[in-house]
Amino acid sequence: EAQVTQNPRYLITVTGKKLTVTCSQNMNHEYMSWYRQDPGLGLRQIYYSMNVEVTDKGDVPEGYKVSRKEKRNFPLILESPSPNQTSLYFCASSLSRTRGGLTDTQYFGPGTRLTVL
């Protein structure tokens, strides 16, 4: 089954404790992206990746890191989480052309609800 998976689905942590949220897709998509969803703000893009080893900042990258060492995986790293990073996080993937942009819709993972105390 074609899907985007995220782990963990729920996480409660404390300020400053490094964490990683994993994202994996089995559709051989070049493009992957991370979003956070907050009430009244919709989804805001954190980082995206056009292909292996190619990443770029979205609208709210502060406090986050990403890496794309393999095509199927795109982990989101919070080096020193803070309470304002409490949110619902979604990973997404899509077909794309490296220099030509997205060519299809995005497929979203089930979300990771993060609480930072």
Partner 1 sequence: AQSVSQHNHHVILSEAASLELGCNYSYGGTVNLFWYVQYPGQHLQLLLKYFSGDPLVKGIKGFEAEFIKSKFSFNLRKPSVQWSDTAEYFCAVQGTGGFKTIFGAGTRLFVKA
Residues that bind partner 1 (CB under 8 A): 31, 33, 35, 40-45, 48, 50, 56, 58-59, 90, 92, 96, 100-102, 105-106, 108-111
Listed in sequence order, the residues at least 6 apart from 76 whose beta carbon sits closer than 8 Å to its beta carbon are 20, 21, 23, 34, 46, 47, 64, 65, 66, 89, 91
Nearer to partner 1, 37 or 115 (CB): 37
Query: Closest approach of Cβ 89 to partner 1, in Å?
Result: 11
Calculate the dihedral angle through the C-alpha atoms of 22, 45, 59, 32, rounding to the nearest 10 degrees. 60
Give the sign of the dihedral formed by CA 53, CA 96, CA 107, CA 45.
positive
Nearer to partner 1, 63 or 107 (CB): 107
Query: Closest approach of Cβ 114 to partner 1, in Å?
Result: 15
Query: Closest approach of Cβ 100 to partner 1, in Å?
Result: 6
